């Protein structure tokens, strides 16, 4: 006989999540945010021939949008480090999956990611790149959450938007593996988190 009282977590339909979500940043605002970030980066890094390192997966949308707005010499690489294995919404232990191929010693490095929340992943990445002997390290974040749980001293150097302390998706951020591709930023309704 089959047990119908499964303890597996109930799957939420991404269409239902989107239908009940609050739009925080529309597509025009999002594009303007990328413009601002690119202008700030150009002002500070145009003469440095930086290595731009995308933090996967969330940072891939921001990295594409930002780098296509830059008109100075740069190299592009990526790393993949995560605290979210599978389609979960709460982070666990840090797992390094891919390190940058480019030697970062004596290079000016710009990390691009989707969001700065508590900063545990970013702190580990900054420490690893600093250990490689980078000449300087800067960070560009599409979003930064407004709360007091962030690790001391962590702040994005180049920032698109500050957002309230809610679970957000779209513009490169996913909800349980879905909705990353949306051209705007949404917050999950409180009753669906």
pLDDT per position as a tens digit, 93-129:
777 788 899 999 999 999 999 999 999 889 999 999 9
Fold (CATH) for 14-188: Rossmann fold (3.40.50)
Neighbour count for residue 23 (Cβ, 10 Å): 14
CA separation, residue 92 to residues 74, 81, 83, 87, 170 (Å): 33, 12, 5, 12, 22
Helix (H) or strand (E) holding 44: helix 27-45
Q: What are the two backbone dihedrals, phi and then psi, of residue 113, each rounded to the nearest 5 degrees?
A: -140, 170
Rounded CA-CA distance 53/78 in Å is: 5
Q: Which residues contact 151 (CB under 8 A, 6 or more apart)?
A: 118, 119, 120, 123
Domain locations in the chain? 14-188
pLDDT digits (tens, 9 = 90+) for 80-96: 987 665 554 555 677 77
In order along its 193 residues, the chain shows pLDDT tens digits of 444 444 445 577 999 999 999 999 999 999 999 999 999 999 999 999 999 999 998 899 999 999 999 999 999 999 998 766 555 455 567 777 888 999 999 999 999 999 999 998 899 999 999 999 999 999 999 999 999 999 999 999 999 999 999 999 999 999 988 999 999 999 999 888 7
Strands (E), the chain: 22-25, 51-56, 75-82, 95-98, 108-116, 136-145, 158-163, 168-169, 185-187
Just list the catalytic residues.
117
């Amino acid at each position: 006989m089959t047990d119908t009282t499964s303890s597996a977590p109930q799957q939420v339909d991404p269409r239902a999540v989107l239908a009940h979500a609050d739009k925080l940043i529309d597509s025009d605002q999002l594009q303007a945010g990328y413009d601002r970030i690119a202008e700030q980066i150009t002002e500070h890094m145009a003469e440095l021939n930086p290595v731009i390192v995308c933090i996967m997966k969330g940072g891939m949308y921001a990295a594409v949008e930002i780098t296509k707005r830059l008109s100075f010499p740069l190299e592009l690489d990526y790393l993949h480090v995560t605290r979210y294995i599978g389609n979960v919404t709460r982070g666990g232990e840090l797992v390094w999956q891919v390190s940058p191929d480019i030697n970062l010693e004596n290079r000016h490095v710009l990390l691009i990611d989707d969001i700065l929340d508590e900063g545990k992943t970013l702190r580990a990445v900054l420490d690893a790149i600093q250990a490689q002997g980078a000449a300087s390290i800067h960070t560009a974040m599409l979003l930064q959450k407004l709360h007091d749980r962030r690790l001391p001293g962590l702040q994005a150097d180049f920032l698109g938007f500050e957002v309230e302390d809610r679970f957000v998706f779209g513009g490169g951020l996913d909800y349980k593996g879905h909705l990353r591709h949306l051209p705007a930023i949404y917050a999950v309704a409180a009753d669906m988190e």
